[in-house]
Amino acid sequence: MGTRREWATFTVADALGLVYWAPRAGVYHVLREPPAGGSVRQIGRCRDLAAAVALATTP
């Protein structure tokens, strides 16, 4: 297992959604930044990429 990290960002309504691959954990972290700014918060963890993207792009 490599140490390569990958992520993608999405615009969701007025918020920023992110999917981040964590190779050591073997999961995709799904994060969201509120429209007004502030701290990015984790909204889920998925082992499946399609599930992570679906969660990240759902308003």
Q: Please choose, from the candidates 14, 43, 22, 23, the residue with its C-alpha nearest in 3D space to the C-alpha of residue 31.
A: 43
Q: What's the pLDDT at 2?
A: 57
Residue 26 within any structural domain of the chain: yes
Q: What's the pLDDT at 26?
A: 92
Q: How many domains does the chain have?
A: 1
Residue 1 within any structural domain of the chain: no
Q: Taking phi first (over 0 means left), then psi (-120 to 50 degrees means alpha), and beta for anything else, what does residue 49 get?
A: alpha
Residue 41 within any structural domain of the chain: yes
Q: What's the pLDDT at 36?
A: 86
pLDDT tens for 14-50 read: 889 999 999 889 999 999 998 888 899 999 999 999 9
Residue 42 within any structural domain of the chain: yes
The parent domain of residue 22 ranges over 6-56
Residue 34 within any structural domain of the chain: yes
